Each structure stands twice: as C-alpha cells, then as structure tokens.
Amino acid sequence: MRPIKLNTLLMLLVIFSGSVAMSVSAVVALYQSNQEAQDQAAQIANSVKQQLEWQLLKAHNLMQGPTDFPDFFLWQNSNSSISGFCVQYESAEGRLERSLCKGDVSEEIWPAWFKTLYIYQFGAEQGSQLDVVFNEDVKGRISVTPSFLVMLHRAWRDLSNLMEMSVITVMTLCILLYITLGWVLKPVRLTTAALGEIQGGDLKVRLPDFRVKEWQDTAQRINSMAATLQATFDERKQLSMKLLHLQEEERRHLCRELHDELGQSLTGLRAIAYYMEGEVKEQCPELSPKVNQITAIAQQMMGLVKNLLFRLRPADLDELGLVENLGSMIDEWNGKHQGVDCHLVTEGRCDQIPAAVAVNLLRIVQESLTNVVKHASASRVEVLLCCPDSEREQLLLQIEDNGNLTRAETLLKPGNGLLGVKERVNALNGEVNLARSSLGGLKVEAIIPVLEYEADDGTH
C-alpha cells in the first residue's frame, strides 16, 4: 500500500469531518425548519381562535351581525407578513364555513430528490387544529395548515444557505491548514532529509534548533544519535586500522620466519641433494632418480615459499615502491591467467604514498582481481591509480572489467572479496563506489584521503 503524506491525510480528515458536520447540520436545519412551521401554525391557529371567540362574544351582545361570522379580515391584515398558511373554519357539524390561504410559491427551485426525502421524513400533511368554544359550547374548529410548497421552499432555502456557508468554511479551513502545515511540517522535511544523509553515511549532518518543543526534542535526539554513531564509526575505523596494522605486522613476522627458517632449510636441503647427486652417480647409480626427485621437490617448495612470501608481503615494497610492486604483481597475475589481460595505468606521485596505505592498496587490487576471476568471467581488466599531486589531494583507485555485471548488493556479502575491499577502504577513512564500467562489467572505485595518514618516518 502506497503511504500517504501527512498534509494530504490532514486535509482529507478536515474534508471528511466537514462533510459529516454539514450532513448533521443539514438534518438539524431541516428539523428546525419543520418545527418552526409547526409552531407558527399553532400560533396562527391560537390567534384566529381568539379572534373568532371575540366575534362570537360581540354577536351575542348584538355588537355584530351573526352573518359576518367567521370573519378572517382582522387576521389577514394583522398578520400580513405571515404567508404560506391556509386557515379553514368548520362548523360543529363538520361543514366548511370559511377558507383562506395566504402566499404561495411561483417557482420550484428544489430538486426532485429533496422533495421525496422531505415527504418521506415529515409527510405532506401537517398543521394545527383548535376548537372554537363559546359559553362552554364548541361552535366549530380552526385548522391551520402550512403550504407544502412553501415549506419545501423555505427548507431548501435554509439548507442551501447552510451548505454554502459550510463549504466556504471548510474551504477556508483547508487553505489555512495547507498554509499552516507548510510551516509546521518543515521540521519533518528537514528531519527526513537529515536521516537520509545519515543513512547514506554522512554522520556529520546536524539538525537546526526548532521553536516547537516536540520538534526540538526530536532534533536533539537525532543529533545525539548521529554524534554517537560518528564516535562509534571513528572508533571502529581506528580499530580496523589497528587490526590491519597488526595483520601486516603478523604477515611481516611470518615472512621473516618463513624466509629465515623454512627458506634456509630448503636451501640446505637442495645443497645436500646436489651433493648426493654426484655421490650417487659414482657409488649407487640406481638411486639417481630418487635424488633428482628430491632436488625437484626442494626446488618446487622454494618456488611455493617465494610466492607465499610475495602474497604475504612484497619484499621490495619499501625499496621499489608501490608502482613497481603493483606492476610486478599484475605481470605475475597475467602469467597465471592467460585468458585475462590486466593493464595498469598510474598518475601522480605514487611512490610517496605512506607504506600503511600502499600495503592496503596492494591488498585491494589483489582482492579485486581475485573477485574478477571468481565472479566476472572477464577477458579484460584495467587498473587505474591516480595518486595525490598539486591538483589532487585524494588517491583514486579504479578496477574495472568487461565481465558479467553483478548487482552491487550481492557483491558486498561475507565470503566475497569486495567486502574486504570495503572494510580496508573504510579503515583508511575512504569510500567505495560500485558502478557499471564503461567496458561493460563492474567498476570498483576507491577514494582515499592519503594526506590524513603518516608515513613510517613520521612525515605526512
């Protein structure tokens, strides 16, 4: 389900609440309009009753002729402002003696559904009836009935006016709410943007102070979280750097041990084998193949030890520098992988890079080339090393191939070489970018601020 924006949700809630309020108000207005008509009919009926009873009294006292009864003239003139009602007088026998209606509707302005709804709710026949009594004798009955068309006209007019005011009110509230939400939700947008930057790895971002207390509390906690993450990340990078340093020290120690102990032993073994070859040829020729086999095994083991020493730590890194070691490593790699051509391009002062960074660059290239062989099925690899110079303060290392492009998310998994590349670059306070190469395969780009690290002699 697609999420909805908060301002849109609030606007919909206002519109829904306004619609419900308008519906309730419409029902109340209809009931009030009908009740007012009923009350007015009862008031008119009572007024006409009093007038007719007064006429009966005057006729009884010979002050008025009996033929003038009932006379509605006084009611008709004294209530000229009241229209839409019919007054009928019936004798005690039920005979209609007099009928008078005032006002009517010349044009129907209401829709058909409103008329149907009004009839269903209130009915078409309504009004008030009172008996005309003189000397405790019922002389007749007054019936006051509101005109149904007039009642419909008044009800629709009141309802239309109410709906117009309600719509204007709701629209005004929506406009004011939209303007207000732009200011109220500004901290939300800033907070979302800051969290996105934090998710992207920028832990230095901080939220500003807000006037609203709740937003200010949220901003302070997010800033505190970012500061804690930054401290944790810095500590993690320091620990990773120490771990890499210890790893290189252990590699160097293993190289010395292998070179001093195993290397000397193999050299002695090969010397003894050469001596035995001469002795065996003269005294025991049948053992010559075995002695030659010992010599070959010793020679093979010395080659394996030499390759192992180079993989652990290039012996000429301090003497020859990074570029020569990279070139030597790539030449050896090309010799082992005949179907893949790896090409090295360097720019800048690469031989002035600190040894701690140079060793990790060698490891990064090694792991990237191993990943190419295992996963890319490439036939061409290009390694670009751009070292710092007068125009560039950062080191750029790119390894791209023309193999099968794998999704970057699947590459950064345990057991994959690129995860080790990312760890090494992060430990050097750098960043790794994975993208599609111009060759058609994967491009691994590492950017490292070399100037933040010291060389072995203590210089920058």
Our CA angle for 99, 100, 106, nearest 5°, is: 130
Our CA angle for 241, 243, 247, nearest 5°, is: 115
Strand order in the sheet with 341-347: 341-347, 380-386, 395-401, 442-448, 431-436
Picking from 183, 211, 226, the residue at the C-terminal end of a domain is 183
* Structure token pair of residue 84: 């839409």
Picking from 183, 205, 228, the residue at the C-terminal end of a domain is 183
DSSP 18-35: HHHHHHHHHHHHHHHHHH
For residue 169, being part of any structural domain is answered with yes
| CA-CA-CA-CA torsion sign (217, 222, 228, 234) | negative
Alpha helices in 258-348 (DSSP H): 263-283, 288-312, 317-320, 322-336
Phi then psi for 399, rounded to 5 degrees? -125, 115
For residue 248, being part of any structural domain is answered with no
For residue 136, being part of any structural domain is answered with yes
CATH code: domain of residue 64:
3.30.450
For residue 22, being part of any structural domain is answered with yes
For residue 1, being part of any structural domain is answered with no
Of 37, 35, 150, the residue nearest 84 (C-alpha): 150
For residue 266, being part of any structural domain is answered with no
SS3 394: coil
For residue 196, being part of any structural domain is answered with no
Phi then psi for 105, rounded to 5 degrees? -105, 125
> What are the 10-residue block averages of pLDDT along the chain, 460 residues in total?
78 86 84 81 81 76 63 56 71 77 67 79 74 80 78 81 86 86 84 88 87 89 91 82 77 77 80 80 79 83 78 64 85 86 87 79 87 84 85 83 66 60 82 86 86 45
Q: For residue 48, give the DSSP letter.
A: H
Q: Are 176 and 323 part of one and the same domain? A: no
* Terminal-residue alpha carbon distance, the chain: 55
> How many angstroms from the chain centroid is the CA of residue 242?
38
Of 448, 233, 251, the residue nearest 354 (C-alpha): 448
User: In this structure, are residues 121 and 30 in contact, taking their beta carbons and an 8 Å threshold?
Assistant: yes
> How many angstroms from the chain centroid is the CA of residue 277?
78
Picking from 137, 159, 183, the residue at the C-terminal end of a domain is 183
Our CA angle for 448, 407, 441, nearest 5°, is: 75
pLDDT tens per residue across span 81-119:
456 777 878 887 778 777 777 666 556 777 888 788 877
Q: Note the pLDDT of residue 31.
A: 84
Q: Note the pLDDT of residue 14.
A: 85
Distance, in Å, from the CA atom of 448 to the CA atom of 429, rounded to the nearest integer, reads 7
For residue 393, being part of any structural domain is answered with yes
Residue with tokens 């190419």: 372
Whole-number Cα distances in Å, 132 to 71, 91, 129: 13, 9, 10
The residue type found at 252 is R
- Domain holding 339, by residue range, is 319-460
CATH code: domain of residue 374:
3.30.565.10
3-19: buried (b, 16+ CB within 10 Å) or exposed (e) per residue? Answer: eeeebeebbeebeeebe
pLDDT tens per residue across span 387-422:
877 666 788 999 999 887 654 445 545 445 577 788
Count of the separate structural domains present in the chain: 2
